Every structure is written in C-alpha cells, then in structure tokens.
Amino acid sequence: MHKDLIHATAISNTSHESFGDIVVDGYFAKHVANHMQKSDESMTEEIVNNVYSNAASILNQCPNPTATDDFKKTGIIIGKVQSGKTSNFIALLALAFDNGYNLAVVIGGNTTELLTQNVNRIKKSFDVDGDKLKVLHSKDNYKLITPENIRRYINNGEKVIIVTLKSPQTKNKKHMSRVSELFDDPVMSRETTIIIDDEGDQATLNAKVYSKDKDIEKRVSQTYKVAIDLKEKIKRHCFISITATPQANILIKTSDKLSPDFGQLIYPGRGYCGLSVFHGEEQDKYVKEIPDDEDSLLDSTGIPSSFYEALAAFYVSGAIRKSRGDNKTHSMLIHPSVKKFDHTVVQAKVDLLLSHWRKTISLGKGDIAYQRSLRPHLFDAYEMYVKDGVKTRIFEEIEDTILDTIMKSSDALVFNSDQINARSDADQYKTRIYLGGTILDRGITISGLTITYIIRRAKGYQNVDNTEQRARWFGYKNVPFYSDYIDVCRVWATKSIKDDFASINESDEEMWSSIERNLRNGKSFKELPRVFLLQHDASHKLRLTRTNVARTKDLVSWTEWKMQDYFVSSEKAAKSNFELVENYRKNLVGIAKDYGGDNQNYYVYDIDFENFLSTVLYKFQFAEGDSFSKPILDKLFSIIRTRKLDDRIDLCWVRYKTKETRTIRDNYTFAPPFYRGRDTKPNEYGEYNYNGDRSTCDDRPNKIQVQFHYVKAKNMSDLDFYSPVICIYVPEAYASRLVVVDE
C-alpha cells in the first residue's frame, strides 16, 4: 500500500471526539493487504488502496482507544450483494488493531455454516501467527470466551476477534449472550471495541417492535435485546452493520438504538456483475423465463423442459470455459424451495437424470440413444449461447469436453441443516451442482456459479431485501485473465421472480443515487429522506422489508425520480407529442454534452415551471390513467407556490440524437428498468464516462429536472414510431414521499 493514497475523512460525525491521525501501513494492515493480492489476482494495488481508504474513513467515525470518555455510536456500511463486503470490514479491523484497538466482536451469521465461513475467512485474511491474533469461534472456542482469558490475551499483546453466531442463546448463555457476559466485567466494559454485525439487516433488528403486548419487555426480540445489551455495557464502542440490503436499517425509527448515526457506500471493484448487469437492459439475455404453463420441478409429473435446458447449458458453458483455458470451479445452483422434503424430491430427479445421461454417454457418440436424446439438448444449449453472441469453438470441437464434464461432475449436493457434510463433498469436484433453500441465501459464496435455476417464491408479498439476497449469481465474473465468464452465465427463473429482480434493480439504483446525493450535500445519515422507489403489480408484489421490523405506507410518488406510467401507443398522439417537445427544444438555448457511445444529452437550465406546464405538459397527450395528469401536475405546482420554493426548473433530453428502444408490456407499461444505469466498465482513468440517467440531476440536485426520452417499442412491430416519454426528478423539499415509515 502507498501511505499517501489513504485519506480519512469524517462523514457526519456526531461526536465531539476526533480520532486523529490514522496509521495505515501497520503490521496487520500490511498482512491483510498482502493476502488480498496473493489470493485474488484481480485485487490490484489501486483496489486495495481504495479498500483501505474506505476503512480509514469508517475508523475515523469510531472512538480513539487512547481517550476515556463514554462513546457509543452506530454505523452502517452498504455494499452490493456478493461484492466483497467482508474484505472491507476485515481491512477495517486491521486498521483498528494497528491504531490501538485490542478487541473486536463480529456477529457473523445466523447459521453455523456462515459462522464457520466467516471465521475461516478472517483467519486466512490476516495470515498472522497465533500469538499475534486470536480468532475465537463462539461454538468451537466456547470455553475460551471468558473475561479472564480475553484480558490475558490482551495483556500479552495479542489482539482478539470473537466471531459469534447471530443467536441470543440467553437460557444456556452461549454465542451472543456469552459475548455479552464478558462486558459485565468492569475492566472489559472499558475496553474500546468495534462490533461488526455482518448481514446487519437480518435477525439483529427488533422483530417485535410492533407487538401489541402490554408488557413492554415482550416487545423486544431476543437477538435485538442482546445486541442492545452489548451497546449498553461497552462504554466505548462503534456498532457497525454490514449489508447490501439496508432497507430495514434505514426504515426503522431514527430513535432506535440500531438506527445508523453514519453510513458509507462501498462501491464494487472492477468486473463486478450485479443487478444492473443481470437485470438491467440485457436481462432477457441473462435471464431465461420458465414458462408459467410448464410443470414444476417440484411436481410428480417428471422433469420440465426448462430444467433440461438449464442443465444442458451448465455442461456446455463448462466446456466453453475449459476451451478458453479456464479450468476453475464450475457450479450450478438449484433453488426450488425452503422445504427439506422438496430438496429430497428434486435431488432424486436430478441424480436419476444424470445417471441416465452418463449411461447414454457410455454407449458412445455414435449410438442412437445419444444422437436422439442427449445430443439435441446439448446442441440447443450451444446454439443459445451462439445466438446470444458468445464467442466459442464449433460444437464438434468441444463436444468431447462437454461429455467429459458430465461424467466428472457431482450429483446434486443438498445444502440444508440435515446435510452437514455437503461443503466437504463439494470440494471433491471441479464441476458442482448445489441444491438447497435458505442456507444458500445471504452470505454464502458459491465458487464459479454460472447457471442458476430458481423457482422459489411465495405467492404473496416478497420482501425486497430477502429476495435480493437470494441472488447468489451476482459477483466478480468480468475480470479478464482471472474471472471472466459473464458471457456464459445464465439464470432460469419464473416470470414473477424475473419481474421481482427487474423492479428491485430500479429500486436499488434509486436508493444508491439518493444516498449519494444526500451525503454529498452534507446531510447526516439520520437526515436521509426515508423514501424508496418500488413498483409492483399483481404478478410480483413487493415490499421493502418485513413488517415486524419496519412498516411503510404508500403516498403519491412525487419525490426523487418519477416516470410516466404508460407508453403512448396511439401513433397520432405520439407524433403530436414528438413535434410538441422537439419544437420546444429547438427554440431554447441549451448545452449538448457527449458522454461517449450513444449517450449524448441536451440540457436547458432555469426554465419557468409555470410557463413550461402551460406550453408543454398541459398540451402533452398522456395515456388514460397515467399519474402524469393535469391534477397531479397542478398539485406539484401548488406545493411550489405554497412553500415558496424555486420555480425555475431544468430540462434534459436524453440520447436526443440516437433515440432509444425499450420493451413495452402488453398493457403498455414499461418493462423495468426504464433508466439506463452507470457504464459497466470504467474508462482508462478508472472513471465512468456516463453515470446513468438518474445522475443527470447530480450537478443541480436542488432543482426539479424534467427528462425527455424518445422511445420506440422494440418488441411490438406495429408500434414503429417514436413516442416521447417523460421522467421528472423532484427534490425532497418539493413533494410527498413514495414510501415512508409508518410511525
């Protein structure tokens, strides 16, 4: 690491205490940085420096171990699903130890599998002698977690990390309760401590906050109670939640002791493929829809055609990777249900099918059984990839590799609480098939995951945060010479699941841009607008988080970005709208900005809003039922006049030269996501040429901005014309929130 590249800056520090200078090139930081680069070829020195820069900024919010006054603060680190958040909190712990801390507590998951994964990851990441650092597992090292032992370690100059299961265990005093008891000791209670709550939106928050029980003590869930006890007992600490799905943490009441005082966004490194890649503009390529009228994999009628497609694609993609010299682990995930009985049923089907395929292969490629049954499935999968633009050798050149991969792959490896040896079994194979439910959700990393088959979804409402955490298919899959196989990654999902993730992508983009904008404008984390964009319809009902933790209510959606609801499908009305908007633009003096590619936008600033309403919006022909109606626009303008807000607005024509095509649903609503996101790859300077359509207001975030898109339906040949579509950005001060906390 280069010391001069690290800068620690305070973000909304609510304490008068200042940490002071932070040592960034100490013993532990160097060891962790060296391990990062040795274990991951994609971790360049620049990326490692960025990780430590984030860590230094977060440590600057924490208490300095040399001070003595009480200091209790709560923070949140927000990353992306499968983006490497663990590396960031390990770097934070390394810096803390180099700057005087002796003790850290990591609340490391609510399953033993995840707890052990965290313990092993921490030990490997520090890669130091046992007399320098003790990493204690709350189950395996139960007897060592006592005040006497911890004090002895610290007095001997050893640092201590206690990794505990996210379980209260109040009756038998294990796990979190065992850790909490440490701080009943008066000496331990004064030990400056960092508490890391991994997956901090899960389990730790109060799940009984809305209980109607008359006994106040019964309105507190046990895990939450132990977490609060920790905060009460430790006189100098910072409790930091790590999550990719912070909806619950943001939506809980700001008076809650786990409501964040400060927060930081952790951006993924190069090559990360998440929501915007899999569920953005190219979703139809990466996500294959399981037909609604097809029998389910859980039915007793046999194996559905879509599963044949997915399994064949798994082996074909493995052969394509090998043909490129990529012999790393290759995995498939089958996500059918949370029920163990269902896992058994699906396992039997998959194993029987694989047995049949292997017997067919053993007969030889010239056998009629292979030619008529197995080969067509494999060739169809190959043709799918070719059609999608994947560069590969001809089928005959990789055919033997495909068959060899089938013969050497694992059967279905069931991961649930009954299958404690599944991880060890998986390690015996390079080509692996994982099958399971909840245990394969958040926190678990599946090496080389390429194909996912997911049908798990309840019929009613789904929580955005839990649903997003099922996306184990996210991760670093576009890193040249290391992990570069995004082109062959595919997800088979039902329409409702596919729609869920498309909507979540839009919600996630909105949340990040809102947090970025507000922190940049100097707001503390508690002052953030607790507002989210969330679309749902009868086929994929979504809510932000579980209702026993935080409740929301829907209001008229006129804050942050709001999009026109319906595509104007009447050619006459669309042409009239086009002439209206384009003639208006040509009569204005504006600025054209070229961001590269087809991203050329045209900006006009400080237009009188009332005049714009009467000249353009009131004449614009919206589809029947659209929320962009005259009464709603009048309401918005009324708010401006009543509050005496700025009535000068900005206009932006997006891709006004090249225009754009978008998928339109049968009811003429837009298939999300509508907005184009940030460029997927940085330029030669490590920056992004275009930060996405939502960023066009970033230079003037306190101004209303109206966006115009000239859109043609790419999936309806009879709508062969461009129809203007309007989006509007409304700052927090102007309007009602879409989703707010129901206090």
Which tens digits make up the pLDDT trace of 336-345? 988 888 999 9
Per the DSSP assignment, residues forming a β-bridge with 435 are 334, 414
Output b/e per residue, 586-625; b: 16+ Cβ within 10 A: eeeebeeeebeeebbbbbbbebebeebbeebbeebebbee
Band (10; pLDDT cuts 50, 70, 90):
very low
Which tens digits make up the pLDDT trace of 288-328? 999 988 988 998 788 999 999 999 999 999 999 999 999 99
Distance CA 730, CA 560 (A): 5
Which tens digits make up the pLDDT trace of 32-86? 999 998 887 667 788 888 889 999 999 999 999 999 999 999 999 999 988 888 8
Residue 371: the pLDDT is: 96
Per the DSSP assignment, residues forming a β-bridge with 726 are 708
Confidence check: pLDDT of 234 > 80: yes
Which tens digits make up the pLDDT trace of 611-637? 999 999 999 999 988 878 776 777 677
State the alpha helices, DSSP H only, in 409-463.
422-426
Q: If DSSP states are collapsed to H, E and C, what string results for 631-664?
A: HHHHHHHHHHHHHCCCCEEEEEEECCCCCEEECE
Residue 437: the pLDDT is: 82
Confidence check: pLDDT of 718 > 80: yes
Which tens digits make up the pLDDT trace of 239-260? 999 998 888 888 888 888 999 9
Residues listed for the chain: 743
Q: How many CA atoms lie within 13 A of 42 on its CB side?
A: 17
Band (538; pLDDT cuts 50, 70, 90):
very low
Q: Please state, for a pLDDT cut of 70, what percent of the chain lies above it.
A: 89
CA distances to 88, 257, 269, 475 from 47, rounded to whole Å, are 11, 33, 7, 16
Residue 550: the pLDDT is: 62
Residue 318: the pLDDT is: 97
Distance CA 491, CA 482 (A): 22
Residue 2: the pLDDT is: 42
CA distances to 509, 655, 699 from 651, rounded to whole Å, are 21, 13, 13
Band (3; pLDDT cuts 50, 70, 90):
very low
Residue 45: the pLDDT is: 83
If we measure between CA atoms, which residue out of 131, 98, 100 comes closest to residue 30? 98
- pTM: predicted TM-score of the whole model, two decimal places: 0.78
Eight-class DSSP state of 670: B
Residue 212: the pLDDT is: 82
Residue-averaged pLDDT of the chain: 87
Mean pLDDT of all residues in 693-713: 93
Distance CA 724, CA 562 (A): 15
Which tens digits make up the pLDDT trace of 112-157? 877 888 899 999 999 999 899 999 999 999 999 999 999 999 999 9
Give me 592's structure tokens.
């054209």
SS3 (DSSP) at 167 = coil
Which tens digits make up the pLDDT trace of 256-299? 899 999 999 998 888 889 999 999 889 999 999 999 889 889 98
Distance CA 739, CA 547 (A): 13
User: C-alpha angle with apex 525: 519 to 528, nearest 5 degrees?
Assistant: 75
Mean pLDDT of all residues in 388-393: 96
Give residue 199's region: left, alpha or beta (phi > 0; psi -120 to 50): left
Confidence check: pLDDT of 389 > 60: yes
State the alpha helices, DSSP H only, in 127-254.
147-155, 176-182, 186-189, 222-233, 247-251
Most confidently predicted of 7-11, 201-205, 212-216, 599-603: 599-603
Residue 422: the pLDDT is: 76
Confidence check: pLDDT of 529 > 50: yes
What's at 459, amino acid-wise?
K
Residue 434: the pLDDT is: 94
Cis peptide before 268 (omega within 30 of 0): no
Q: Which residue would you say has higher pLDDT here, 381 or 425?
A: 381
Point out the least confidently predicted range of 172-176, 395-399, 402-406: 172-176
Distance CA 133, CA 213 (A): 45
Distance CA 51, CA 445 (A): 20
Residue 443: the pLDDT is: 65
Distance CA 727, CA 674 (A): 10
Distance CA 716, CA 712 (A): 9
Give me 267's structure tokens.
């951006």
Q: Which residues contact 299 (CB under 8 A, 6 or more apart)?
A: none
542 phi and psi, to 5 degrees? -130, 145
Distance CA 637, CA 735 (A): 10
Calculate the CA 689 to chain-centre distance.
23
Give residue 31's region: left, alpha or beta (phi > 0; psi -120 to 50): alpha
Q: Which residues contact 557 (CB under 8 A, 6 or more apart)?
A: 533, 627, 738
Kind of pairing between the strands at 490-494 and 103-107: unpaired
Output b/e per residue, 356-392; b: 16+ Cβ within 10 A: ebeebbeeeeeeeebeeebbebbbebbebbeeeeeeb
Residue 11: the pLDDT is: 37
Q: Are 523 and 11 in contact (CB under 8 A)?
A: no
Give me 654's structure tokens.
């997006």
Band (582; pLDDT cuts 50, 70, 90):
very high
482 phi and psi, to 5 degrees? -130, -60
Q: Are 494 and 577 in contact (CB under 8 A)?
A: no
Q: How many CA atoms lie within 13 A of 496 on its CB side?
A: 16
Eight-class DSSP state of 130: T
Point out the least confidently predicted range of 17-21, 170-174, 213-217, 631-635: 631-635
Which tens digits make up the pLDDT trace of 198-220? 988 888 988 888 788 877 777 88
Residue 421: the pLDDT is: 65
Residue 8: the pLDDT is: 34
Give me 187's structure tokens.
């000496």
CA distances to 50, 77, 88, 117, 703 from 84, rounded to whole Å, are 13, 12, 7, 14, 35
Confidence check: pLDDT of 725 > 80: yes
Q: Are 268 and 262 in contact (CB under 8 A)?
A: no
If we measure between CA atoms, which residue out of 679, 711, 709 comes closest to residue 695? 679
What's at 436, amino acid-wise?
G
Distance CA 279, CA 606 (A): 35
Band (517; pLDDT cuts 50, 70, 90):
confident
Q: Are 197 and 442 in contact (CB under 8 A)?
A: no
Mean pLDDT of all residues in 499-517: 82
Band (595; pLDDT cuts 50, 70, 90):
very high
E-strand ranges in 269-313 read: 272-273, 287-290
Point out the least confidently predicted range of 401-405, 481-485, 650-654: 481-485
If we measure between CA atoms, which residue out of 542, 452, 539 comes closest to residue 496? 539
Band (13; pLDDT cuts 50, 70, 90):
very low
